[in-house]
Chains A and B, each alone.
Chain A
Amino acid sequence: MSMTPTEVQTTGITPHPMLPHPYRVQRVRRETSDTFTLELEPQTGSRELTFAPGQFNMLYAFGAGEVPISISGDPARPAVLVHTTREVGAVTRAMRKLKPSDSLGVRGPFGTGWPVTAARGADVVIVAGGIGLAPLRPALYQILAEREHYGKVALLYGTRTPADILFRRELQQWHSRFDLEVHVTVDRAMGNWRGNVGVVTSLVARAPFDPQSTLAMVCGPEIMMRFTVQELEQRGVALENIYLSMERNMKCAVGWCGHCQFGPTFICKDGPVFRYDRIQALLAIREV
């Protein structure tokens, strides 16, 4: 059960890995009622952070605490560091109240990334549930930047209601491209919604990709990922071509605190992106 990292990039590590670097808030953008995006730039003393899609940073709000948040921006534009998160606790609440030119502490980037390079030559299906779209967005940016290297590319996105749809304008732009299929669905809607209603797994059956030559990247609540894998498997996608992003409690992100262990893996360094077949047995064990 030994793990090998997929697509790791490490830059910006200082002498003490637990020391945050100060970054300045450029902008706080409200995405939905409970989700917001931070756009950050490095302050003097900190440098531009380059990252691989799928990686995360530890973000520190002065006096409130530190939380792991996936990077949701464009890896080709490191001058602006982008994070999208839900407001779920004291730290994220404090972050939502930040104003432009306020400071935030950043440590990272950490973890393994999506197999964007490995997917070259194949079809790609990206399945996102809820906030799971945020860690997948950088992968899509990178794929679209090198579009000629990929076959069919499909984005399947499901969330709770139309009001919870993230990155709406961007989704509409992507939807209008000829070289990208975008299917959005919601779990439920009021009568004036003209889009799909149904669980995101229902989009898998009709998505345009060749199961024999497809790489799938899946991110969202764990149940949603497990159900999505079932559908992908039913369509004939090999389990070693499916990648998930896992989440666990994290305190340090550098493999010392022990909190993020998932079987023999540390989510902070062996993940968060995992090849499905390598964690399949672990996902089947309760409370592991």
Chain B
Amino acid sequence: METLERILIEHHFFQGMQDEYLKLLAGCASNVRFDAGQFVLREGEEAHQFYLIRHGKVALEVFAPERGSITIQTLGEGEVLGWSWLVPPYRWRFDARAIELTRAIALDGKCLREKSEKDCCLGYELLKRFSQVMVEHLQATRFQLLNVYDAH
């Protein structure tokens, strides 16, 4: 627990958060590990967790029957995976699969959701950070949509 708390304190994603919230988060955290090829989460499943990737690489994928699985983004060390736990209907929108051995910290999103209902400040601190993640993903997705490398 102590080690986890230190990791969270040092992680840039939680920079500026109050100590009591960091303790709380550490209480909802656990170390997880995924072997290469293992799914971290599946499209359609309930989303109750999010992950801080400490080591390794995870691919966000979509499976198309006639094309196979298409990777739309990869996330690596230091990045945050998953925001569907924050937004109804709390279901994953993509598959996420470890491409190589990946170690991460999993945080209990469901628990944090419930606590945020009671403590709005906690909710705001989390939303502040996750909205940033969503904006970056949105910007990147829009960039991808432009197909800038296509021949005209």
Contacts and interface: CB of A to CB of B under 8 A. Distances in A.
Direct A/B contact, Cβ within 8 angstroms: yes
A129 to B, nearest CB: 7
B69 A194 contact: no
A224 interface: yes
Contacts of A34: 151
Most B C-beta atoms less than 10 A away, residue of A193, A198, A221: A198
Given A191-B68, A191-B71, A198-B74, A130 B143 contact: no
B143 A197 contact: no
Interface string B43-86: 00000000000000101110000011111111010100000000
A208 to B, nearest CB: 13
A198 B140 contact: yes
A43 interface: no
A257 interface: no
Interface string A166-205: 0000000000000000000101111101111111011000
A159 interface: yes
A129 B149 contact: yes
Contact of A190 (B69, B140, B152): B69
A193 B148 contact: no
A193 B100 CA distance: 11
A130 B148 contact: yes
A190 B150 contact: no
Most A C-beta atoms less than 10 A away, residue of B78, B146, B148, B152: B148
A197 B149 contact: no
Contacts of A191: 59, 61, 68-71
A223 B146 contact: yes
Contacts, number: 71
Contact of A221 (B68, B139, B148): B148
A244 to B, nearest CB: 14
B148 A194 contact: no
Given A190-B68, A190-B69, A197-B59, A160 B74 contact: no
Contacts of B57: 194, 196
A227 B99 contact: no
A130 B151 CA distance: 11
A189 B60 CA distance: 11
B144 interface: yes
B69 A196 contact: no
Contacts of B143: 199, 201, 223-224, 227
Contacts of A194: 57, 99-100
A224 B59 contact: no
A109 interface: no
Contacts of A196: 57, 74, 76
A220 interface: yes
Given A188-B72, A197-B73, A201-B140, A164 B99 contact: no
B52 to A, nearest CB: 15
A202 B140 contact: yes
A206 B74 CA distance: 14
A285 interface: no
B149 to A, nearest CB: 4
A88 B151 CA distance: 7
A269 B76 CA distance: 42
B3 interface: no
Interface of A: 34, 86, 88, 129-131, 159-160, 164, 185, 187-191, 193-199, 201-202, 206, 220-221, 223-224, 227
10 contacts: A131-B149, A185-B74, A187-B144, A188-B144, A189-B70, A189-B71, A190-B69, A190-B71, A191-B70, A221-B148
Given A196-B76, A197-B72, A201-B140, 15 more contacts: A34-B151, A160-B149, A188-B71, A188-B72, A190-B71, A191-B68, A191-B71, A196-B57, A196-B74, A197-B59, A199-B144, A201-B143, A221-B149, A224-B143, A227-B143
